[in-house]
Amino acid sequence: MKATLRKRTASGGKLALYLDIYPPAPHPITGRLTRKYALGMSIHEKPRTESERQENKQTMALARSVQAKIQLRLQAHDYGFFLRDNKVALFPYIDKIADRAKSNKKQYDRCKELLVERYGEDLSMQFMTPQVLNDFRFWLLERFAQNSASVYFARIMHVLKCAYDENILADDPVRKVRHIPTKRGEVTYLEADDIKKLLETPCSDNDLKNAVVLSISTGLRLCDVEILKGENFFITVEGPEIRIRQKKTKDLLTIPITWDLYRYIDPPETGLVFSRIRTHAYDGTLKKWVETAGITKKFSFHKARHTCAVTLVSNNVNLRTIQALLGHKTINSTIVYAHVVDQAKRDAIEKIKIPLNIKEYPQKNDTINMQ
């Protein structure tokens, strides 16, 4: 790629200077191939005085200096110079990052709405200074619960980090701003009695019922269960198993299943196993089924995945094995369920009330010397 310094006729008897880039370079935001790069400089076409000749000489020296710098950036495939010091619109770049993310697109869209509400519609990336980011951070925390605020703030921080990495921003505004940490929420899951009640309770949509049972048994997410096909079921020497590429992580997941579960699901040879389960998971069908079963816990389809994980931990299954079965990217996502089981054990012990004849009893372990 080469940048050649060229001139073109401009008004006022001057020649505008520009770089002719060949082959054309992609614009860092739009991706459009661009060949001409205006330097914003001009020289006198026919200098008449010594002053004009000196002015031309200085301008050409500066233009060649810029040409040399841009030539180096072209060789490094760095095209951020197209943006120069001009203000770059924030929202089109957010859309570009959202298109890459795909699964989080709604979060980026909501983040844009919040930025408009707080600062208006005509925002540039240069406007998002550390001071503005800190203001947005505190505003989100006042407006939303901490975990929701964390999600929206993480989206804009990621956008600006990408802009800096792609040389669209000269400075990294994210470096001086703290992220909003997430709080570990309460994990809702079904216990053995609850599962028994669900199995014994008829559901108006049998596909939904079977899909929930499958998720409880395997930990599959709703997004994976709804695209599950007969072709994803395999019979091996050891027994049946499900092989599916996870929609969220794009990783291939293999889950062994029991013959009882295989016969219960009775998958077709080809085609979708379940129909319309996402619709019925949110239109009240699932809620009505759970209530009819006499379960008072707030239950959603995703809680079936929690139930599988907690059940495995409770039965002393190795955390690394659970991580593999659930398709977690990191062990940290799996450890959450170990904490749930530990707390459940503590809650169970606290329910044991034995009248102890002890005169003095330390409260909250504040007088116990832990070694």
- In whole angstroms, what separates CA 60 from the centre of its chain? 48
Q: Given a cut of 50, is residue 367 above it in pLDDT? A: no
pTM for the predicted model, two decimal places:
0.55
Which stretches does DSSP call E strand in the chain?
Answer: 2-10, 14-26, 33-44, 233-235, 240-245, 252-256
pLDDT 10s digits, 356-366:
565 554 554 44
Q: How far apart are CA 67 and CA 60, in angstroms?
A: 10
pLDDT band at 351 (very low <50, low <70, confident <90, very high): low
C-alpha to C-alpha distance for 16 and 7, rounded to whole angstroms: 6
Over pLDDT 70: what percentage of the chain? 89
pLDDT value for 228: 95
The more confident residue out of 93 and 210 is 210
Q: What is the pLDDT of residue 185?
A: 66
Instruction: Classify residue 241 as exposed, middle or buried by CB count within 10 Å of its CB (0-12, 13-18, 19+).
Output: middle
**Residue environment code for 276-305, b if the CB has 16+ CB neighbours within 10 A, otherwise e:** ebbebbeeebbeebbeebebeeebebebbb
Measured CA to CA, the distance from residue 331 to residue 342 in angstroms comes to: 17
| pLDDT band at 348; cut points 50, 70, 90 | low
Report whether pLDDT(79) > 60.
yes
Instruction: Flag whether pLDDT at 121 surpasses 60.
Output: yes
**pLDDT band per the 50, 70, 90 thresholds, residue 247:** confident
Tell me the pLDDT of the chain averaged across its residues.
Answer: 86
Instruction: Report the pLDDT value the prediction gives residue 358, as an integer from 0 to 100.
Output: 56
Phi, psi of 78 (to 5 degrees): -105, 110
Where residue 353 falls among pLDDT bands split at 50, 70, 90?
A: low
Q: Give every strand in the sheet of 252-256, ordered side by side.
A: 233-235, 240-245, 252-256
Ramachandran area for residue 316 (φ above 0: left; ψ -120 to 50: alpha; else beta) = left
Quick check: 84 pLDDT over 60? no
Average pLDDT over residues 340-369: 60
| 156: enclosing H helix or E strand | helix 146-165
Calpha distance 87→78 (Å, rounded): 18
Range of 100-104, 166-170, 299-303 with top mean pLDDT: 299-303
Q: What is the dihedral of CA 68, 74, 76, 81, to 10 degrees?
A: 90
Non-local (6+) Cβ contacts of 36 within 8 A are 18, 19, 20, 21
pLDDT tens digits, one per residue of 263-311: 999 999 999 999 989 999 989 999 999 999 999 988 999 999 999 999 9
Give the per-residue pLDDT at 368.
Answer: 41
Q: Which of 53, 34, 54 is nearest to 45 (CA)?
A: 53
What's the rounded Cα separation, in Å, for the pair 115 and 121? 8
Question: 116-125, 213-222, 231-240, 285-294: lowest mean pLDDT where?
Answer: 116-125
Q: How far apart are CA 321 and CA 312, in angstroms?
A: 9
